Chains A and B, each alone.
Chain A
Amino acid sequence: MKTKMNLTKSTKSTLITVGIVVVAYIVMQILGGAGMLSSLMKGLLVPLCIYAIMAVSLNLTVGILGELSLGHAGFMCVGAFVSAFFSLYFKETMAAGPRFIIAIILGGVVAALSGLLIGIPVLRLRGDYLAIVTLAFGEIIKNIINVMYVGRDEQGIHFSMKDAYSMNLSSEGQILINGAQGITGTPNDSNFTVAAILLVLTLIIVLNLVNSRPGRAIMAIRDNRIAAESVGINITKFKLLAFSISAGLAGIAGVLYAHNLSILQAQPKNFGYNMSIMILVYVVLGGMGNIRGSLIASVILVLLPELMRQLNDYRMLIYSIVLIVMMIFNWSPKAKEFREKYSIKRLLGKKTEKGEA
């Protein structure tokens, strides 16, 4: 009886989280159909999903695995450029549907592999080395892409790290990656429906992973590495597993990002350090290890500055005040007490978990 309860409990929680996304998607579609969405709002729908995917995937590393990653935007960058390159290369020769599906898989897999590559040496170490290395990775990837020139003509693919002329393209040739100018002309395959589906898939992957045997091993490593080792858990293996899945999902967010714009450039503002920190802010405010929290926090914190655009200079001030208030509301002991006292569960007459313990 009890064991059955346990299975349904985690499944129920997953369903609620996925349900929130599905309901939000339906509401947005109805509003959009009725013409009640401003063009600003419409333009925000895909980025909302992208940031939510980023936050959920980063939470897998920070909250579930307990390792700090400061270069999550770097994996997004890898996914974005790999997929954009692929899509541009096959723009004329493949139908949009299968091309985009392959692009998503490719972006995710390559980002996951780069996560694995970084993880193999770094995750063997104890301490904050992952934070240091991922921080560097994010910056390095951006700079490498900014000096990469790839083009093609009838002779095949040309490559240079110097400038576009050094590729010696024929007059028929086409520049695919143009250094700091990035990739131009990526097909706009992203739309809200695809983004919402990928967000749901991300949530299902992360939540199902957490509530399974490997997920328990990952959390055991976070809670007590020495004890996890003593019960026969392969620390490096499960750290790598969590980190590469996290990187792969960030890559998928990158694919969405790349196919939502016609010009893709690796700049500090989209793939830089600030972006990684911003995603980390979503994770921390939503609650480390709380997947649903990451989802909600990222939606609120992406929407907020956009909705306050008419306030001009004051919006970042208000944004920071909201951050502080959320932090207090989430973590201060008094605020926790207040929330427990007036929680919806309690008002409905159910005992909260704390109450039972």
Chain B
Amino acid sequence: MTLLDVRNLGISFGGLRAVDNFEIQIKKGQLYGLIGPNGAGKTTVFNLLTGVYKPSDGKITLDGKNITGAATIDINKAGIARTFQNIRLFKDLSVLDNVKVGLHNQYSYSTITGILRLPKYFKVEKEMNEKAMELLKVFDLDKEADFLASNLPYGKQRKLEIARALATNPKLLLLDEPAAGMNPNETSELMDTIRFVRDNFDMTILLIEHDMKLVSGICEELTVLNFGQVLAKGKTAEVLNDPQVIKAYLGE
């Protein structure tokens, strides 16, 4: 069953056609990779999918629902969560609170309840704490729950971003260069984590990555983007052996 269906997506910034006629179909439970040279428009595609940019043309359908041109928060509520290429954590909040912000729309009480500390406040906060700790445990961050997010080492900050994205209870998780700046050990650990998330959270994952070891290791299908256009797509092994892809991106 197709979870994300993108047809004929395009955006122009002035005279620059950043993304043109972009198509992608991702099935439920798939681990899908989006690769391409720097400046090919990969992050722009993520920004289009999450409503940061409004597409000039095309149609985005998530789980049968048309989300083309919707606001970022509505797209998140519809079920797309993301991480960022340059980490964007809430740096002055604790690790636990970062995840609890992610849980924002899963739990609710009114502002008045919070200010007056009515019983519902304590009940809901307790549930949020438990849920957040559960998520942190998955990413082996539970011991650092009280740390400020900015005090975490780099690799753990990346993990925290994924945990925060998962806290919003998405159907589709977008990871923007999750392995950037990681050493080989951290990368292989990250690969395990991504697989674990897919299997245990029943998640569909679309990721942008330059690390070919990670891409060939975990992605089932790939789309290659070059100059804003789809250069090739299909099964990972086939795409990586495509002469056009080798010429444009991998190098001969």
Point out residues on B near A: beta carbons under 8 Å: 50, 52, 72-73, 76-77, 81-82, 84, 88-93, 96-97, 100-102, 104-105, 107-109, 111, 114-117, 121-122, 124-126, 128-130, 133, 142, 145-148, 151, 164-165, 167-168
Establish whether residues A232 and B93, one from each chain, have CB atoms under 8 Å apart when the complex forms: no
Is A234 in contact with B73, judged by CB distance below 8 angstroms?
A: yes
Q: List CB contacts (< 8 Å) of A225-243 with chain B.
A: 226-235, 241
A218-258 CB contacts (< 8 Å) to partner B:
219-220, 222-224, 226-235, 241
Inter-chain CA distance A220–B101, complex, in Å, is 7
Minimum CB–CB distance from B127 to chain A (whole Å) comes to 10
In-complex Cβ contact of A3 among B88, B129, B164 (8 A)? B129
Does the CB pair B114–A208 fall under 8 Å?
Answer: yes
Partner of B97, one of A205, A216, A226, A228: A216
Set of chain B residues within 8 Å of A223, measured between Cβ atoms: 89-93
A357 close to B (CB within 8 Å): yes
Given the interface pairs A6-B146, A217-B101, the reply to whether A230 lies near B81 with Cβ below 8 Å is: yes
- Is B104 a contact of A224 with CB atoms below 8 Å? no
Cross-chain contact A231 with B168 (CB below 8 angstroms): yes
Known: A3-B130, A227-B88, A232-B76. A205 touches B115 (CB 8 A): yes
Are B90 and A220 within 8 A (Cβ)?
yes
Work out how many contacts link A and B, with CB atoms closer than 8 A: 114
A214 within 8 A of B: yes
Q: Is the interface of A mostly helix, strand, loop or mixed?
A: helix
CB neighbours of B147 from chain A (8 A): 356-357
List residues of chain A with CB within 8 A of the CB of B114: 208-209, 212-215
A356 to chain B, nearest CB (A): 8
Q: Is the interface of B mostly helix, strand, loop or mixed?
A: helix
A348 interface hit (Cβ, 8 Å): no
Say whether B111 contacts A212, CB under 8 Å: yes
Mark each residue of chain A from 56 to 94: 1 if its CB lies under 8 Å from any CB of chain B, else 0.
000000000000000000000000000000000000000
Neighbouring B residues of A215 by C-beta, 8 Å? 114
Contact B77 A232, beta carbon cutoff 8 Å: yes
* Residues of chain B contacted by A2 (CB below 8 angstroms): 133, 142, 145
- Residue in A6, A212, A216, A230 whose beta carbon sits within 8 Å of that of B50 in the complex: A230
Q: Is the CB of A224 within 8 A of B125?
A: no
The contact sample of 30 A-B pairs, CB cut-off 8 A, is A3-B133, A6-B145, A7-B125, A204-B115, A208-B117, A209-B115, A212-B109, A212-B125, A213-B104, A213-B114, A213-B124, A213-B125, A214-B111, A215-B114, A216-B101, A219-B90, A220-B93, A223-B90, A223-B91, A224-B88, A226-B84, A226-B88, A227-B84, A227-B89, A230-B72, A230-B76, A231-B105, A231-B168, A357-B147, A357-B148
